[in-house]
């Protein structure tokens, strides 16, 4: 269990499970002789990818006459609605709700859900199918947030990444008004805000957590694992690889001197770390 106190917040990582991902696609143009020193591939060249959600909790918020905890869930994994074809590629671990329950969090406890972007492996548990087959919100009380540009793009994705957008994960929430679309830069509640880092997609937003002079950042697919911290180690999935490099530079220019805690969405082993530059200028991830 990864949990720590972070200023006024408590941060914890909950996983939706792991899934196999082609190592070449995961590391883009980086040669296998290099990435295979950091991550092991199986005989079909698959590596194990994680699906880390971040839970941010704050104690003692007044809600009418009751004092209750505020619970924010960043990212909702792959969910349980994948098509048979997608299951052939990725399996369908679908462990997030069980893991949240084991941590004492019921779907009704979640107040806010934030999606960094709308690829299927980031917003899958936003919704579920009820017994009658109707798509309903998994977290009935929650206010949902996602980048507006992502949602606009998802309506007409490119041929290249159309398979990654499953409208059932967000369209019913937008239609009902339960999902608010963000421009980027908004503060969602005091201490929790979003910031656009283009590259993986044009509108992906990182989630910033700030309290008592500390900053944590759920950087999503800009830096999906600790093995991707080098500026030029981008994923093959990135739609704008040169933009990924620029966004990483921008990120590190603040994150390194200010010692931000970086949360990695797809790292099955190291969900968060402090990124530092060593004497040779090489990026290193310092564990927590
Ligand atoms: Zn993505």
Distance of CA 132 from the midpoint of ligand 1 (Å): 30
Distance of CA 280 from the midpoint of ligand 1 (Å): 31
What pLDDT score does 170 carry? 98
Residues above pLDDT 70, as percent of the chain = 97
Distance of CA 241 from the midpoint of ligand 1 (Å): 13
Distance of CA 200 from the midpoint of ligand 1 (Å): 7
Distance of CA 51 from the midpoint of ligand 1 (Å): 11
User: Average pLDDT for residues 12-22, to the nearest whole number?
Assistant: 97
Distance of CA 59 from the midpoint of ligand 1 (Å): 31
What pLDDT score does 65 carry? 62
Distance of CA 66 from the midpoint of ligand 1 (Å): 38
Distance of CA 258 from the midpoint of ligand 1 (Å): 26
Distance of CA 221 from the midpoint of ligand 1 (Å): 6
Q: What is the 3-state secondary structure (H, E, C) of 74-119?
A: ECCCCCCCCCHHHHHHHCCCCCHHHHHHHCCCCHHHCCEEECCCCC
Ion ligand 1 residues within 5 Å by Cβ:
119, 221
User: Average pLDDT for residues 54-82, to the nearest whole number?
Assistant: 86
User: Average pLDDT for residues 120-137, to the nearest whole number?
Assistant: 97
**With 60 as the cut, is the pLDDT of residue 103 above it?**
yes
pLDDT of 44-67, one tens digit each? Answer: 999 999 999 999 999 875 556 666
pLDDT of 221-276, one tens digit each? Answer: 999 999 999 999 999 999 999 999 999 999 999 999 999 999 999 999 999 999 99
- 83 or 64: which leads in pLDDT: 83
Distance of CA 58 from the midpoint of ligand 1 (Å): 28
Largest separation between any pair of C-alpha atoms in the chain: 60
What pLDDT score does 86 carry? 93
User: Average pLDDT for residues 210-226, to the nearest whole number?
Assistant: 98
What pLDDT score does 132 carry? 97
From CA 144, how far away is CA 180, in angstroms rounded? 6
DSSP-derived letter for residue 30 is S
Min mean pLDDT across 15-19, 88-92, 196-200, 243-247 is at 88-92
Q: What is the mean pLDDT of the chain?
A: 95
Distance of CA 62 from the midpoint of ligand 1 (Å): 36
Distance of CA 169 from the midpoint of ligand 1 (Å): 14
Min mean pLDDT across 27-36, 71-80, 143-152, 156-165 is at 156-165
Distance of CA 282 from the midpoint of ligand 1 (Å): 26
Distance of CA 265 from the midpoint of ligand 1 (Å): 10
Q: Which two tokens stand for residue 225?
A: 């694992």
What pLDDT score does 168 carry? 98
- Residues 6 or more apart whose CB falls under 8 angstroms from that of 203 comprise 117, 147, 148, 149, 150, 153, 184, 196
């Amino acid at each position: 269990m990864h949990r720590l106190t972070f200023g006024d917040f408590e941060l914890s990582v909950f996983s939706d499970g792991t899934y196999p991902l082609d190592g070449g696609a995961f590391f883009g143009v980086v040669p296998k002789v290099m990435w295979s020193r950091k991550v092991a591939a199986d005989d079909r060249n698959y590596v194990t990818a994680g699906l880390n959600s971040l839970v941010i909790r704050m104690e003692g918020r007044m809600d009418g006459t009751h004092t209750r905890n505020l619970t924010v869930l960043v990212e909702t994994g792959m969910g349980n609605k994948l098509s048979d074809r997608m299951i052939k590629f990725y399996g369908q671990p679908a462990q997030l709700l069980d893991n949240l329950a084991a941590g004492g969090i019921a779907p009704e406890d979640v107040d806010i859900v934030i999606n960094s972007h709308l690829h299927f492996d980031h917003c899958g548990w936003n919704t579920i199918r009820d017994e009658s087959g109707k798509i309903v919100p998994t977290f009935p009380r929650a206010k949902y947030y996602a980048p507006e540009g992502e949602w606009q793009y998802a309506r007409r994705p490119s041929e290249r990444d159309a398979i990654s957008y499953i409208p059932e994960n967000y369209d019913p929430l937008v239609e009902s008004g339960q999902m608010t679309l963000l421009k980027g830069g908004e503060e969602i509640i005091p201490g929790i805000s979003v910031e656009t880092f283009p590259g993986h997609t044009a509108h992906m937003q990182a989630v910033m957590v700030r309290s008592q002079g500390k900053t944590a950042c759920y950087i999503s697919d800009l830096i999906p694992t600790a093995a991707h911290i080098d500026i030029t180690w981008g994923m093959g999935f990135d739609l704008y690889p040169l933009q990924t490099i620029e966004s990483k530079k921008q990120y590190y220019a603040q994150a390194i001197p200010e010692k931000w805690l970086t949360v990695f969405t797809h790292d099955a082993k190291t969900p968060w770390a402090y990124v530092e530059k060593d004497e040779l200028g090489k990026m290193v991830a310092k564990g927590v």
